[in-house]
Structure 1
């Protein structure tokens, strides 16, 4: 399916447009507005939570329509500049903010989903990066340059078929990610039952068999509580400060954009903003930079490590997001991985304790407890790491209970589907250029697309 090319702007139904400026002080009521955060978090934007902003009746031309393409005008990293998302609809009329460029294609001539997938593909990124301007601390694109890029322009019927095929792969990826979320919620429920509510202990105190466990597991739990210097705890258990359960902790790194005499080692650097993406296997925005071997030696992330966000947040979102590092996650990268300078590496004393700490961090963040460890003095919220490590108490059970917990939870949070998600993502991104170039025909891949690239 080789095709002709076209100037991107010639496919438009109307000229491209930058969005609205609405300062935070006026937000809170009105219509939903797509911000940079939504664009980076949701490639396909549909019925998501957004800020509400006041809109004047004269600003109706900023309303989005299903099929509108949105491009990031600016980003702190090259990989984010010009990133494309597609608006697929919302329950309420929706507008978009000034850091985004809206492109509305002629639906008779062009399928916007086809061009969404093109701009998300490696070939599409190369087209975008050719127009990126890099300045001090940021990269960006201009709408006037975007309209002049050359894009593939196959017949509309072919566009529709390709978009349908790639959309079906995306739907499968979404289903797998939802399954991962469900499994991790089950792990959290088990953690809360055993280590927060102490359900098995309370059940045995009342002469009942603990729910959802066999006799051998139930026998590992005590049937009473005892007082400690730090409060009541199941008999034989301990309340231990978080920091005492770590063998190593160190702040992150940022390195440099390009290799030089000092920073000569290529490394992927995980930021706090990358944590939600990585939890769903979307690693495309993790910046790759250069650092020194000396810095990497103490910061290289390993299986079982924890990554903690220690700076950032907002008035509605505290710092303290965390990420459990697994072999499956590290395998997504072709180079060593380390935390960014606004994050911190936490290395537990062993894998079993690490599983407990990972669930503990997830739980207290969901409960809003990390607000207690946050201060804000210069407009940026900072996590009081030392205070947290010294005062945050973790309920530590017997070795036997911890072993059973780890064996139960490990398969749930190992993100077993990540490999399949990664393969489907690679398949989706690889199919488009091969279809456009004529290397593959649609009929070859519509039934079992995985077989084509096996």
Structure 2
């Protein structure tokens, strides 16, 4: 093993633009922030697109290339991604909340360095400063002490072992996305485009198909508020505490922001597989998270949820239909503008209960739900597999890097 400063085995350690860019939807030039980096990749689906001129200006600083390493260094510290060799890469630049690390390939294999830095995430978090918002300074990263194996052969072997876990995780994530898109298409076909079974013989009455009803959300479900907690109730042990950051991902739940809770909570604040939660707080001021819903995967252990979420309890419609209506039917978008606040947007749940929603005939819902339940069960199963693979990889990672397990 050899110990040196991170700057001595890298060609670049920089961050994104310290300023804003002009939006240009559809330009194909991306301005990525820390919110778009999670699950070991860049998520482009909700990323800002900017003008080509602004991209060229910012790109002089970032100059992103395949196999660069990304580390979120402001707000949420330590989410990482290894940049892929895809067309979007050379059209991607960053806000200052993301750091870019480029390996010196004469000394270290990029994939190996990526996993080595992943094993040091807690050290990065502990090295960050700031009270209201944590920041990991570039100078701190550059002077970070790093120990690594000199042998390129060993580096390749370690990276190969760990990348197999990530390849499986990525395959499950792709399956989730495909299943989610299939569920969305089916919902849109039946309940937005109104091409449901038997639509040819159904009259339209007051703007909706005959037999359909307009109801308020308050007639369809109740809700349970999440648990408020203090910092001394968060620990490495205890039950899972699901929070807003866990449900930002496309397709539902993501694991990398999980907390552990050692305090007490009410029985109704328990979470189980298939429960529906919704965001009521948004610190980004983008209104993207207020009204955002997710189904809870199978944790196989106790779980509760934080006060930036509510759990939705349906009265008269199946939970899976309510999930689809909110996610695909535009209900979440109707709810989002009801949030208010200066620095943090917050929705008082009672404010949304008068929102109107069209409810199809019971027989149509009963025909629709089995199709989507099958897709959803596969999604939740895949999410559980991702969780198990991630835990296995994270247990193996420090043992490989420290030499506890010989290769």
Normalising TM by the smaller chain, what interval?
Answer: 0.7 to 0.9
C-alpha separation in 2, matches of 1:179 and 1:141: 34
2:232 maps to what in 1? 258
Structure 1 position 319 matched with structure 2 position 282: no
Cα 1:395–1:300 change in 2 (3 A) is same
1:395 shift after superposition: 1.3
1:153-204 superposed Cα distances (whole Å, 9 cap, x missing partner): 241122123323433432222222211222222223333344441521214x
Cα 1:129–1:314 change in 2 (3 A) is closer
Cα 1:111–1:254 change in 2 (3 A) is farther
1:218-276 superposed Cα distances (whole Å, 9 cap, x missing partner): xxxxxx4474xx754434x5443222122x3133334111139xx9x955443434313
1:296-445 equivalences in 2 (<5 Å): 296-312=266-282, 314-315=285-286, 317=288, 319-326=290-297, 328=298, 330-331=299-300, 334-338=301-305, 340-349=306-315, 353-365=318-330, 369-370=333-334, 373-374=337-338, 376=340, 378=342, 380-383=344-347, 385-398=349-362, 401-414=364-377, 415=379, 416-438=381-403, 440=405, 442=407
Q: Higher mean Cα deviation, 187-196 or 409-418?
A: 187-196
1:282 maps to what in 2? 254
1:127 shift after superposition: 3.4
Q: Match of 2:352, SS?
A: helix
1:155-304 equivalences in 2 (<5 Å): 155-196=151-192, 197=194, 199-203=196-200, 205=201, 224-225=202-203, 227=205, 232-235=208-211, 237-246=212-221, 248-259=222-233, 266=238, 268-277=240-249, 279=251, 282-289=254-261, 291-293=263-265, 296-304=266-274
1:368 shift after superposition: 7.6
C-alpha separation in 2, matches of 1:108 and 1:426: 32
Preserved CA contact (<8 Å) 2:287 2:337: no
C-alpha separation in 2, matches of 1:188 and 1:57: 38
1:109 maps to what in 2? 107
1:55-204 equivalences in 2 (<5 Å): 60-75=60-75, 80-89=76-85, 90-120=88-118, 123-133=119-129, 135-146=130-141, 147-196=143-192, 197=194, 199-203=196-200
Q: Higher mean Cα deviation, 187-196 or 405-414?
A: 187-196
Cα 1:341–1:23 change in 2 (3 A) is farther
Consecutive unaligned residues of structure 1, counting only runs of 5 or more, are 206-223, 443-454
User: Computing the radius of gyration over CA atoms, which structure comes out larger, 1 or 2?
Assistant: 1
Cα 1:401–1:267 change in 2 (3 A) is same
C-alpha separation in 2, matches of 1:361 and 1:431: 39
Q: Match of 1:302, SS?
A: coil
Cα 1:422–1:289 change in 2 (3 A) is closer
Consecutive unaligned residues of structure 2, counting only runs of 5 or more, are none
Cα 1:183–1:83 change in 2 (3 A) is closer
C-alpha separation in 1, matches of 2:208 and 2:182: 26
Q: Match of 1:162, SS?
A: helix
Alignment RMSD: 3.6
1:89-125 superposed Cα distances (whole Å, 9 cap, x missing partner): 53535433323333322111111211212333xx433
TM-score (norm 1): 0.73
